[in-house]
Amino acid sequence: MNWLLVVAGAVVGAPLRYLTDRAVQARHDSVFPWGTFTVNVVGSFVLGLLTGVTSAQAHLLLGTGLCGALTTYSTFSYETFRLYENGAKGYAALNVAGSLAAGLGAVWLGVETAAGLR
Protein backbone atom coordinates (compact mmCIF):
# COMPACT_ATOMS: atom_id res chain seq x y z
CA MET A 1 0.00 0.00 0.00
CA ASN A 2 3.03 2.32 -0.04
CA TRP A 3 2.24 3.26 -3.61
CA LEU A 4 -1.00 4.86 -2.39
CA LEU A 5 1.03 7.29 -0.30
CA VAL A 6 3.06 8.21 -3.38
CA VAL A 7 -0.12 8.67 -5.41
CA ALA A 8 -1.73 10.80 -2.68
CA GLY A 9 1.30 13.08 -2.56
CA ALA A 10 1.44 13.34 -6.34
CA VAL A 11 -2.27 14.20 -6.51
CA VAL A 12 -1.44 17.33 -4.54
CA GLY A 13 2.03 18.00 -5.98
CA ALA A 14 1.19 17.98 -9.69
CA PRO A 15 -1.61 20.57 -9.59
CA LEU A 16 0.38 22.61 -7.08
CA ARG A 17 3.29 22.67 -9.53
CA TYR A 18 1.07 23.78 -12.40
CA LEU A 19 -0.75 26.46 -10.41
CA THR A 20 2.45 27.80 -8.83
CA ASP A 21 4.22 27.88 -12.18
CA ARG A 22 1.39 29.81 -13.83
CA ALA A 23 0.99 32.23 -10.90
CA VAL A 24 4.70 33.01 -10.65
CA GLN A 25 5.26 33.26 -14.39
CA ALA A 26 2.26 35.61 -14.76
CA ARG A 27 3.98 38.06 -12.39
CA HIS A 28 7.18 38.25 -14.44
CA ASP A 29 7.55 39.82 -17.84
CA SER A 30 10.60 37.76 -18.72
CA VAL A 31 11.60 34.76 -20.80
CA PHE A 32 13.32 33.36 -17.69
CA PRO A 33 11.33 30.36 -16.35
CA TRP A 34 10.65 31.74 -12.87
CA GLY A 35 7.77 29.33 -12.24
CA THR A 36 9.86 26.20 -12.74
CA PHE A 37 12.73 27.76 -10.80
CA THR A 38 10.37 28.45 -7.87
CA VAL A 39 8.83 24.97 -7.66
CA ASN A 40 12.25 23.33 -7.86
CA VAL A 41 13.69 25.48 -5.06
CA VAL A 42 10.63 24.99 -2.84
CA GLY A 43 10.75 21.23 -3.46
CA SER A 44 14.44 21.17 -2.54
CA PHE A 45 13.68 22.95 0.72
CA VAL A 46 10.87 20.52 1.57
CA LEU A 47 13.14 17.54 0.86
CA GLY A 48 15.74 19.06 3.16
CA LEU A 49 13.13 19.45 5.89
CA LEU A 50 12.25 15.79 5.55
CA THR A 51 15.69 14.78 6.79
CA GLY A 52 14.35 15.40 10.27
CA VAL A 53 11.43 13.02 9.73
CA THR A 54 12.08 9.36 10.42
CA SER A 55 8.75 8.04 9.17
CA ALA A 56 9.04 6.05 5.95
CA GLN A 57 5.40 6.85 5.22
CA ALA A 58 6.07 10.60 5.45
CA HIS A 59 8.97 10.24 3.03
CA LEU A 60 6.78 8.36 0.57
CA LEU A 61 3.90 10.83 0.85
CA LEU A 62 5.84 14.09 0.95
CA GLY A 63 9.26 13.29 -0.52
CA THR A 64 8.47 10.89 -3.33
CA GLY A 65 4.84 11.83 -4.00
CA LEU A 66 4.48 15.55 -3.32
CA CYS A 67 8.01 16.71 -4.14
CA GLY A 68 8.36 14.24 -6.99
CA ALA A 69 5.31 15.74 -8.68
CA LEU A 70 6.02 19.32 -7.59
CA THR A 71 9.59 19.52 -8.90
CA THR A 72 10.58 18.96 -12.48
CA TYR A 73 13.98 18.25 -13.93
CA SER A 74 12.58 17.56 -17.38
CA THR A 75 10.84 20.94 -17.65
CA PHE A 76 13.95 22.66 -16.30
CA SER A 77 16.03 20.94 -19.00
CA TYR A 78 13.55 21.71 -21.76
CA GLU A 79 13.17 25.37 -20.78
CA THR A 80 16.94 25.78 -20.56
CA PHE A 81 17.33 24.25 -24.01
CA ARG A 82 14.61 26.52 -25.44
CA LEU A 83 16.29 29.61 -23.95
CA TYR A 84 19.59 28.61 -25.54
CA GLU A 85 17.97 27.71 -28.87
CA ASN A 86 16.11 31.05 -29.00
CA GLY A 87 19.30 33.03 -28.45
CA ALA A 88 18.87 33.77 -24.76
CA LYS A 89 22.15 32.06 -23.92
CA GLY A 90 22.76 34.24 -20.86
CA TYR A 91 19.37 33.31 -19.43
CA ALA A 92 20.07 29.64 -20.18
CA ALA A 93 23.36 29.80 -18.28
CA LEU A 94 21.72 31.74 -15.45
CA ASN A 95 18.97 29.13 -15.24
CA VAL A 96 21.49 26.30 -14.89
CA ALA A 97 23.77 28.05 -12.41
CA GLY A 98 20.95 29.70 -10.46
CA SER A 99 18.88 26.53 -10.22
CA LEU A 100 21.83 24.51 -9.00
CA ALA A 101 22.92 27.11 -6.45
CA ALA A 102 19.41 27.88 -5.21
CA GLY A 103 18.43 24.20 -5.06
CA LEU A 104 21.51 23.26 -3.06
CA GLY A 105 21.04 26.27 -0.81
CA ALA A 106 17.38 25.42 -0.26
CA VAL A 107 18.06 21.79 0.64
CA TRP A 108 20.83 22.91 3.02
CA LEU A 109 18.45 25.43 4.63
CA GLY A 110 15.81 22.72 4.96
CA VAL A 111 18.27 20.32 6.61
CA GLU A 112 19.42 23.05 9.03
CA THR A 113 15.81 24.01 9.80
CA ALA A 114 14.93 20.38 10.50
CA ALA A 115 17.96 20.06 12.78
CA GLY A 116 16.89 23.17 14.68
CA LEU A 117 13.39 21.74 15.20
CA ARG A 118 14.67 18.55 16.82
User: What percent of the chain shows pLDDT beyond 90?
Assistant: 92
Residues 40, 71: contact at Cβ < 8 Å? yes
Report pLDDT for 51. 87
pTM of the model: 0.93
Cβ contacts of 25 within 8 Å, gap of 6 or more: 33, 34, 35
Per residue in 66-82, pLDDT tens?
A: 999 999 999 999 999 99
Rounded Cα gap, residues 93 and 67, in angstroms:
25
Contacts of 75 (CB under 8 A, 6+ apart): 33, 36
* pLDDT tens digits, one per residue of 48-106: 999 877 789 999 999 999 999 999 999 999 999 999 999 999 999 999 999 999 999 99
The answer to whether 20 is a known ligand-binding residue is no
Specify whether the backbone of 32 is left (phi greater than 0), alpha (psi in -120 to 50) or beta: beta
- Which pLDDT belongs to residue 88? 97
Whether residue 36 is annotated as binding a ligand: the answer is no
Rounded to the nearest angstrom, the gap between the alpha carbon of residue 19 and the centroid of all alpha carbons in its chain is 13
Helix (H) or strand (E) holding 101: helix 89-117
